[in-house]
A and B are shown apart, each in its own frame.
Chain A
């Protein structure tokens, strides 16, 4: 896709990026084990708005209480994970940086596993998960920052803290009741958007939305992130503020996503790279593209997860199975990626 002169998206691309997630969401609303015809879907929506109509109650339930919250969650986590992936890649000037780089995801997983072990409810699990994600990033920061230390030492300490929390997850699994809790933890760790209600969204959505809005607003500034420290400083930008804002926003989004639907791998690595290959490295277009394509991609993958077979497939498995070949094809055709 051709880019505008200054890296701004051409109007056609903007239109496509806005339409894609919305179209994906609308199209998948009717799909699933219970197939709903487009006509009936429109009727159901009309009935919800006007309060009049004769759509069966089961259809209404399926569309508005089961599928809609789940699709909203998919949109949200897709956008959040891919945007935070994009931010971490630029921040560390490293194409392999993922939302897990600072240990956030491992921390959140541990929090969730702990929540399950202690027999918390869904909201409780979400809270502990978010809490430990934040604790992990704080530990990473304390361990890796200090006088004269650069970004690479933060990445290193992120890996350390990440493996520490992975070990703690194993410990929780080891102590868990192998009949009930262990399968629950294992299944949760594979990631699933199943059983989402509006109450989960009420708790999980605000951090993701706030993160997205903040990064979207400073998207042109984010172009400075991959440059060297001297280059950022000599642009007159407060380097600590720029990096700090990015880290906080991206961490907030990741922790919140993981707390809502478990560890969904690949999206944070794959989508930003696809966007870089399609739209170039300018964050002016990269940020909106990551949000839009991440959201749409997640909705599609989640629909496959719930509708392809009779039993639900964990979403991490699908993101990898769909993502890897697609990514490799794109990479070979575009001649690799750079930041």
Chain B
């Protein structure tokens, strides 16, 4: 599955473009975060991507086919959309609400069958909210309602899940639940696209990022896109990306310092080679496929590699040593760190280590 946008340009009144020439592409299992200041048009962008709004020029393509030429019923059985949870929840029970997500697979005059109901219950179960089954959506908490909305989107077995600020207005426990859910879904092969106001969520979770500012977008691997320079350019805020070391890995965080003075920081950092060693510990054999794929992409800078299963604990350990561009090594570290249940740390050699003889 591939969903891409090519030269997407959109305007409401044909005078002022909301976006100009947006390009990006996601594949199965990708996790894309869309960031941008208030009013940059993040929700509008999602609506354009899904074909609910028509691009003024350019197109969204699903496996190469223009989204607007795909019949709605077929399109929405592959794509699912989770709107912002701000609209006042209806008084349907959670199960009834989730069942509505099966619409694209149920005939117009038909009713949900036993199987549909079982699917809906199963989805609630997988997301850990089966206890809400018979509760009314108007009587559950915001976090629970968000999970019901995600369940409603998932119950149609989509290949792409598009979420509009799914973790806004939630406390941090519920944010974690929602983010963990999205990470697991991406890991299971669903492409997840979400809008967020939290750069740190993008840093900690997504492997691709798109920043919208002034109608233009930068898109690429999160580690390359979510930089202090790009944040300053898009938000007008001087921020630092900090790292907090835990026992298992290094967590990145974004701390806003002050409003930008208007002078942008000096451009791109110079390519800079370094020696580094990445250690990975994980306990799920399936994850190793994903890790090996990732490492393979960086084969050209790998200088040493050792992997071993540790049967006694049912865990796996991989040591790799790199000599190459520091930005690429940081990017790989990031891509490994966002995999669920994987511990990753990178040790960089001292400055003189890069001096070649």
What is A's interface to B at a CB cutoff of 8 Å?
A: 3, 5-8, 217-221, 223-224, 226-228, 230-231, 233-238, 276, 280-282, 284, 338-339
Contact between A281 and B112 (Cβ–Cβ < 8 Å)?
Answer: no
A5 to B133 CA separation, bound complex (whole angstroms):
9
Q: Which residues of A contact B75 (CB under 8 A)?
A: 236
A223/B100 contact (C-beta < 8 A), A5-B134, A230-B47, A281-B92 known: yes
A338 to B134 CA separation, bound complex (whole angstroms):
16
Q: Which residues of B contact A238 (CB under 8 A)?
A: 72
Contact between A236 and B77 (Cβ–Cβ < 8 Å)?
Answer: yes
The answer to the question of B126 belonging to the interface, with a C-beta cut-off of 8 Å to chain A, is: no
- Name B100's contact: one of A217, A218, A233, A235 (CB within 8 Å): A235
A238 to B108 CA separation, bound complex (whole angstroms):
10
A163 to B109 CA separation, bound complex (whole angstroms):
37
Contact between B92 and A282 (Cβ–Cβ < 8 Å)?
Answer: yes
The answer to the question of B331 belonging to the interface, with a C-beta cut-off of 8 Å to chain A, is: no
A218/B108 contact (C-beta < 8 A), A233-B72, A238-B72, A339-B90 known: yes
Q: Which residues of A contact B79 (CB under 8 A)?
A: 234
Q: Looking at the assembled complex, report how far the CB atom of A86 sits from the nearest CB atom of chain B, in whole angstroms.
A: 14
Seed contacts A234-B81, A280-B91, A284-B111; 4 additional CB < 8 Å A-B pairs? A6-B95, A224-B103, A230-B83, A282-B93
- Name A237's contact: one of B81, B93, B103, B133 (CB within 8 Å): B103
Contact between A221 and B104 (Cβ–Cβ < 8 Å)?
Answer: no
Contact between B100 and A234 (Cβ–Cβ < 8 Å)?
Answer: no
A221 to B112 CA separation, bound complex (whole angstroms):
10
A218/B109 contact (C-beta < 8 A), A5-B117, A227-B100, A235-B103 known: yes
Q: Which residues of B contact A233 (CB under 8 A)?
A: 52, 72, 76
The answer to the question of B138 belonging to the interface, with a C-beta cut-off of 8 Å to chain A, is: yes
The answer to the question of B266 belonging to the interface, with a C-beta cut-off of 8 Å to chain A, is: no
Which of A217, A234, A338 has the largest count of B CB atoms less than 10 A from its CB?
Answer: A234
Q: Looking at the assembled complex, report how far the CB atom of A280 sits from the nearest CB atom of chain B, in whole angstroms.
A: 7
- Cβ < 8 Å to A, chain B residues 269-310: none
Q: Looking at the assembled complex, report how far the CB atom of A1 sits from the nearest CB atom of chain B, in whole angstroms.
A: 14
Which of B81, B90, B95 has the largest count of A CB atoms less than 10 A from its CB?
Answer: B90
A224 to B92 CA separation, bound complex (whole angstroms):
11
Q: Looking at the assembled complex, report how far the CB atom of A304 sits from the nearest CB atom of chain B, in whole angstroms.
A: 32
Q: Looking at the assembled complex, report how far the CB atom of A214 sits from the nearest CB atom of chain B, in whole angstroms.
A: 10
Contact between A228 and B87 (Cβ–Cβ < 8 Å)?
Answer: yes
A selection of 30 A-B contacts at a CB cut-off of 8 Å is A5-B117, A6-B96, A6-B117, A7-B92, A219-B111, A220-B111, A221-B103, A223-B96, A223-B100, A224-B100, A226-B90, A227-B90, A228-B87, A234-B52, A234-B79, A235-B100, A236-B73, A236-B75, A236-B76, A236-B77, A236-B103, A237-B103, A237-B104, A238-B72, A280-B91, A280-B92, A280-B93, A281-B91, A281-B96, A338-B90
Contact between B80 and A234 (Cβ–Cβ < 8 Å)?
Answer: yes
For B76, the closest partner residue in chain A by CB is A236
The answer to the question of B106 belonging to the interface, with a C-beta cut-off of 8 Å to chain A, is: yes
- Name B99's contact: one of A6, A217, A226, A231 (CB within 8 Å): A6
For B86, the closest partner residue in chain A by CB is A228
- Cβ < 8 Å to A, chain B residues 166-205: none
For B47, the closest partner residue in chain A by CB is A230
Q: Looking at the assembled complex, report how far the CB atom of A302 sits from the nearest CB atom of chain B, in whole angstroms.
A: 32
Q: Which residues of A contact B87 (CB under 8 A)?
A: 228
Q: Which residues of B contact A231 (CB under 8 A)?
A: 81, 83
The answer to the question of B333 belonging to the interface, with a C-beta cut-off of 8 Å to chain A, is: no
Q: Which residues of A contact B134 (CB under 8 A)?
A: 5
Q: Which residues of B contact A276 (CB under 8 A)?
A: 91
A218 to B103 CA separation, bound complex (whole angstroms):
12
Contact between B92 and A235 (Cβ–Cβ < 8 Å)?
Answer: no
For the complex of A and B, list the 6 residue pairs with the smallest distance between their C-beta atoms, beginning with the closest.
Answer: A236-B104, A236-B76, A234-B81, A235-B103, A338-B91, A236-B73
Q: Looking at the assembled complex, report how far the CB atom of B303 sits from the nearest CB atom of chain A, in whole angstroms.
A: 49
Q: Looking at the assembled complex, report how far the CB atom of B349 sits from the nearest CB atom of chain A, in whole angstroms.
A: 50
> 0/1 per residue, B34-77, Cβ < 8 Å to A?
00000000000001001010000000000000000000110111
Contact between A220 and B76 (Cβ–Cβ < 8 Å)?
Answer: no
Q: Looking at the assembled complex, report how far the CB atom of B276 sits from the nearest CB atom of chain A, in whole angstroms.
A: 44
A231 to B153 CA separation, bound complex (whole angstroms):
10
A230 to B112 CA separation, bound complex (whole angstroms):
22
Which of B47, B72, B92 has the largest count of A CB atoms less than 10 A from its CB?
Answer: B92
The answer to the question of B324 belonging to the interface, with a C-beta cut-off of 8 Å to chain A, is: no
Contact between A220 and B110 (Cβ–Cβ < 8 Å)?
Answer: yes
Q: Which residues of A contact B99 (CB under 8 A)?
A: 6-7
A230 to B91 CA separation, bound complex (whole angstroms):
19
A281 to B87 CA separation, bound complex (whole angstroms):
17
Q: Which residues of A contact B77 (CB under 8 A)?
A: 236
The answer to the question of B101 belonging to the interface, with a C-beta cut-off of 8 Å to chain A, is: yes
For B53, the closest partner residue in chain A by CB is A230
Contact between B90 and A281 (Cβ–Cβ < 8 Å)?
Answer: yes
> 0/1 per residue, B97-122, Cβ < 8 Å to A?
00111011010111110000100000
Which of A230, A233, A236, A282 has the largest count of B CB atoms less than 10 A from its CB?
Answer: A236
Contact between B112 and A220 (Cβ–Cβ < 8 Å)?
Answer: yes
Q: Looking at the assembled complex, report how far the CB atom of B122 sits from the nearest CB atom of chain A, in whole angstroms.
A: 14
Q: Which residues of A contact B106 (CB under 8 A)?
A: 220
Q: Looking at the assembled complex, report how far the CB atom of A221 sits from the nearest CB atom of chain B, in whole angstroms.
A: 6
Q: Looking at the assembled complex, report how far the CB atom of B324 sits from the nearest CB atom of chain A, in whole angstroms.
A: 43
A227 to B109 CA separation, bound complex (whole angstroms):
19
